[in-house]
Amino acid sequence: MREFVVVGHEAPTTAEFSLDDLPGAGRLDVLCRCVTAAFRLSHDFRADVRVRLVLEEEYVVRFEGSELRHLRPDERSAGSLIRGALEARDGAVGAMEATASPGVHIGAGDLGTAVEAAAETGPVVELHADGAPIVDLEPPENVAFVLSDHRDFTDPEADLLERVADERRSLGPAPMHADDAVTVAHNYLDTGGFERY
């Protein structure tokens, strides 16, 4: 299992946004591209992946690859699944999530709860261009990567990650878009740390 936790700093927390303007919906396009990058392969799908999107420190939308249906490679498709999750948000009570569609769940939560949940199954690696080179890290089993959207992590988020993340690692010297970082992180794991091709 591989996991990606992506923080959306301006992402919508209600379903009142247009699929025709995902960038205008708090740059939801970035989160949508992260979702598709996490699951898509050419003519195939990565079922052993989990994605948690943190929406404005209020809700966490969890995508489970083993259950997921109806995710096509376009941004609107992921946007539609996120909107469906937000339509179902009132069904989430306390720590209990609501299920919006197969493999798409929503619960109240923030970066802290998302990382805490991810840490139950494996090590947590913050991805940051200023981190230590990931190539020097033996690819961990069941790792959870934590990324930010189009913005930097806020100071409180950075402090939290400094406390709870097992590693802070860079995928390379060039700052990438978050969805590209997801793809490179997959490649790092697929190749045993850029070693097996």
| Least distance to ligand SAM, CB of residue 34, Å | 9
Q: Of the ranges 75-83, 92-100, 106-114, 144-152, which one interacts with ligand SAM (CB under 6 A)?
A: 144-152
For position 189 contacting ligand SAM by CB under 6 A, the verdict is no
For position 132 contacting ligand SAM by CB under 6 A, the verdict is no
CB atoms inside a 10 Å sphere around CB 114: 25
Of 40, 139, 177, 190, the residue at the interface with ligand SAM (CB under 6 A) is 177
For position 186 contacting ligand SAM by CB under 6 A, the verdict is no
Distant-in-sequence, close-in-space partners of 92: CB < 8 Å, separation ≥ 6: 59, 98, 106, 107, 108
Are 121 and 109 contacting, i.e. CB atoms less than 8 angstroms apart? no
| Least distance to ligand SAM, CB of residue 14, Å | 24
Query: Exposure pattern of 18-39 as b/e (b: 16+ CB <10 Å)?
Result: ebeebeebbbbbbbbbbbbbbb
For position 192 contacting ligand SAM by CB under 6 A, the verdict is no
Cα angle value 25/27/31 (rounded, 5°): 110
CB of 50 or CB of 169, closer to ligand SAM = 169
Of 36, 125, 148, 168, the residue at the interface with ligand SAM (CB under 6 A) is 148
For position 5 contacting ligand SAM by CB under 6 A, the verdict is no
Are 36 and 71 contacting, i.e. CB atoms less than 8 angstroms apart? yes
Give the CB-nearest residue to ligand SAM: 148
| Least distance to ligand SAM, CB of residue 70, Å | 26
Where does this chain bind ligand SAM (CB under 6 A)? 127-129, 147-148, 150-152, 170-172, 174-178, 181
